[in-house]
């Protein structure tokens, strides 16, 4: 998450949506009073190499962290700033989000789950399903824009124009693998569709 008083914006960072890359790009323009939350040590190295501002002013009350939602951000910066700043997040096809998360986890030597087991692990699905809650309050979208991951270049251009800052995304956490549909077996898509029904319905995503 970044709350920039210098450029009057709040970036709500969702999972598996190029959030780290966008956060690094935005952090290059942060001022000394802006709230910038921590990312992994590896990504902090990328941020430093890109000339971005590292974690700062995150010892707030309540505390600030990477994937914090709108309610907590409002508690940190105040309702007046929230209403006045440009607030935004990025969403992605849930079928792709789950596949991306699985591929990322499968890179770890200790990870042994099949994709079928992965989608049937409630804790993992719940964590990924938190995305849609981060930019909502009481079930209602409260950020000014929810961009689509699938249209990321256009999203970056729009953010750049709105904020009046140049944005060049680094390729953090790049993954490769088959098309997400290739990972899905019998019943897998139904589980994801049920868990992410609201996002699928509101954004028109399909398998």
Residue-wise pLDDT for 50-102, tens only, equals 999 999 999 999 999 999 999 999 999 999 999 999 999 999 999 999 999 99
What pLDDT band is residue 183 in, cutting at 50, 70 and 90?
A: very high
Main-chain phi, psi angles of 87, to 5 degrees: -110, 135
The pTM score is: 0.92
Question: How high is the mean pLDDT of the chain?
Answer: 95
pLDDT at 12 over 70: yes
Query: What's the average model confidence in pLDDT over 129-137?
Result: 95
pLDDT at 46 over 90: yes
pLDDT for the residue numbered 134: 97
pLDDT at 174 over 60: no
- DSSP-derived secondary structure for the chain: -EEETTTTEEE---TTSSHHHHHHHHHTT--TTSEE----HHHHHHHHHTT---SBS---SSPP-TT--HHHHHHHH-HHHHHHSEEEEEE--HHHHHHHHHHHHHTSTT----HHHHHT-HHHHHHHHTHHHHTEETTEE-SSEEEEGGGHHHHHHHHHHHHT-------TT----S-GGGG--TTHHHHHHHHTHHHHHHHT---
Distance (Å, rounded) from C-alpha 162 to C-alpha 154? 12
pLDDT at 7 over 80: yes
Query: What's the average model confidence in pLDDT over 157-182?
Result: 84
Report the number of distinct structural domains present in the chain: 1
CATH code where residue 117 lies: 3.40.50
pLDDT at 119 over 60: yes
Q: Which of 63, 81, 74, 80 is nearest to 6 (CA)?
A: 81
pLDDT for the residue numbered 176: 55
Range of the domain at 81: 2-203
């Amino acid at each position: 998450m970044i709350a920039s008083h210098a450029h009057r914006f709040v970036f709500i960072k969702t999972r598996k949506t190029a959030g780290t890359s966008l956060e690094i790009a935005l952090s290059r323009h942060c001022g000394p009073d802006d709230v910038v939350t921590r990312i992994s040590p590896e990504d902090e190295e990328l941020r430093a190499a890109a000339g971005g501002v590292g974690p700062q002013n995150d010892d707030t009350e309540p505390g600030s962290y990477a994937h914090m939602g709108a309610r907590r951000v409002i508690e940190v910066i105040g309702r007046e700033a929230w209403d006045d700043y440009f607030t935004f997040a990025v969403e992605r096809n849930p079928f792709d989000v789950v596949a991306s998360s699985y591929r990322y986890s499968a890179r770890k030597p200790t990870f042994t789950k099949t994709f079928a087991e992965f989608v049937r692990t409630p804790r993992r699905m719940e964590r990924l399903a938190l995305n849609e809650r981060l930019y909502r309050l009481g079930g209602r979208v409260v950020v000014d824009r929810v961009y689509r991951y699938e249209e990321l270049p256009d999203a970056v251009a729009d953010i750049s124009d709105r904020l009046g800052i140049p944005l060049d995304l680094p390729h953090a956490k790049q993954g490769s693998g088959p098309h997400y549909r290739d990972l899905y077996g019998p019943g897998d898509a139904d589980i994801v569709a049920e868990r992410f029904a609201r996002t699928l319905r509101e954004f028109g995503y399909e398998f």
